[in-house]
Homo-oligomer: A and B are copies of this chain.
Amino acid sequence: MTVTLADVAARARVSPATVSRVLNGNYPVATSTRDRVLRAVDELDYVLNGPASSLAAATSDLVGILVNDIADPFFGIMAGAAQSQIGGPGDGSGRAGGEKLAVVCNTGGSPERELTYLTLLQRQRAAAVVLTGGALEDPSHQAAMAVKLAKLADAGTRIVFCGRPPLPDSDAVTASLAFDNRGGARRLTEHLLELGHRRIGYVAGPLERTTTRHRLEGHREAMKAAGLHGDEESLTVHGPYDRRSGYDATRQLLAREGEVTAVVAANDTVALGACAAVRDHGLRIPEDVSVAGFDDLPFSVDAMPALTTVRLPLAEAGARAGRLAMGKEKPPAGGIATIDAELMARGSTAAPRG
């Protein structure tokens, strides 16, 4: 029924092994033979059987990219960039040669699904796995992840972190690209302090996430360095990385802590919610309250006023992670690279009134 490699071999009057060699291109084959084989492939419209090939070769061309939330451009941008390095440009024929199949898996931020996806990829004998975004800090999950990643690495799967801090005491991970969330957050708050703000509300991300913690720490470092501390707790509200969280938390801060002159959000999406809350509270941005975000997603510059935020080079990092996963680029020294975060001061922050 379906045409197999043996059919191609018969048609090209060569052995199956030769066909395999032509297809994989890792072996010298006479040009005339190769042409004959390729012609037979086209004539028979042959499509390689992936499972059979993976079984025999004990490795597949699947590369998994894990993301927390595929609907969030933060992840979409990284995943797209990684995928572009992995899938290759193709040859324009749609025929598929030695390409890898780069696929993105959406964990929805659930630790169980993260592990499940890793198991599924392990099953498929994935060639590489890229994990994006912050990690959960729950010790038992971290331990489970370390074990699982070690097994994947053992089986020859290359593992790359992108926008995620390195795993302590693990050599399973080929490379870790970590964003300087702490430094970026510190500079952002310093910017607010320089403008004259003293009471700054902070809408943090979900608890137990490295990203949340690092950004919050950077913020508090700056506050402390300015001699401002004592009411960190009452000025901080935690919530998920979405617009609603920004809205709710900001309304809460505004109602409870009347004298807040600035709100720093965990990311740009949360910041949009914060902006809406400030306005619904009858206040203006930035005259009455300054608002700042994090990530510099494409829409941030279109907020009115344009959002002050911290730029993360998501596309560059994703692309680099993709190359590392393919073994096309050599890992940074020590397997760890920290990626700078740049302050983008824009219209949504200004000096407080009075």
| Min distance, Cβ A202 to any Cβ of chain B, angstroms | 20
Docked pose: A52 CA to B51 CA in angstroms: 6
Q: Is A102 an interface residue (CB 8 A)?
A: yes
Quick check: B96 and A108 within 8 Å, CB to CB?
A: no
Binary contact readout A103-118 vs B (1 if CB under 8 angstroms, 0 otherwise): 1111010111111111
Binary contact readout A265-281 vs B (1 if CB under 8 angstroms, 0 otherwise): 00001001101100000
Q: Is A83 an interface residue (CB 8 A)?
A: yes
| Min distance, Cβ A311 to any Cβ of chain B, angstroms | 16
Contact partner, A69, options B52, B80, B90, B103, Cβ 8 Å: B80
Docked pose: A52 CA to B106 CA in angstroms: 25
Quick check: B72 and A90 within 8 Å, CB to CB?
A: no
- Number of A residues, CB within 8 Å of B: 74
Contacts of A70 in B (CB 8 A): 70, 76, 79-80, 83, 104
Copies of this chain:
2
Contact partner, A302, options B92, B102, B119, B272, Cβ 8 Å: B272
Docked pose: A84 CA to B69 CA in angstroms: 11
| Min distance, Cβ A204 to any Cβ of chain B, angstroms | 20
- The stretch among A7-15, A120-128, A179-187, A224-232 that forms the contact with chain B is A120-128
Q: Is A48 an interface residue (CB 8 A)?
A: yes
Which residues of A288-329 are within 8 A (CB) of B? 298-299, 301-304
Contacts of A118 in B (CB 8 A): 94
Docked pose: A155 CA to B69 CA in angstroms: 32
Q: Which residue of B lies closest to A110 (CB)?
A: B90
Contact partner, A73, options B62, B72, B112, B117, Cβ 8 Å: B72
Quick check: B69 and A94 within 8 Å, CB to CB?
A: no
Q: Is A93 an interface residue (CB 8 A)?
A: yes
Most chain B CB neighbours (cut-off 10 Å) among A47, A87, A94, A125: A94
Docked pose: A39 CA to B95 CA in angstroms: 44
| Min distance, Cβ A34 to any Cβ of chain B, angstroms | 20
Quick check: A76 and B80 within 8 Å, CB to CB?
A: no
Contacts of A170 in B (CB 8 A): none
Contacts of A92 in B (CB 8 A): 112
Quick check: B103 and A119 within 8 Å, CB to CB?
A: no
Q: Is A99 an interface residue (CB 8 A)?
A: yes
Q: Which residue of B lies closest to A114 (CB)?
A: B94
| Min distance, Cβ A163 to any Cβ of chain B, angstroms | 14
Contact partner, A95, options B45, B99, B119, Cβ 8 Å: B119
Quick check: A80 and B55 within 8 Å, CB to CB?
A: no
Contacts of A49 in B (CB 8 A): 55, 123, 125
Contacts of A79 in B (CB 8 A): 70-71, 106
Once A102-B105, A144-B94, A272-B299 are accepted as A-B contacts, the answer to whether A123 and B50 lie under 8 Å apart by CB is yes
Quick check: B80 and A243 within 8 Å, CB to CB?
A: no
5 A-B contacts (beta carbon < 8 Å): A49-B125, A50-B124, A51-B52, A75-B76, A93-B115
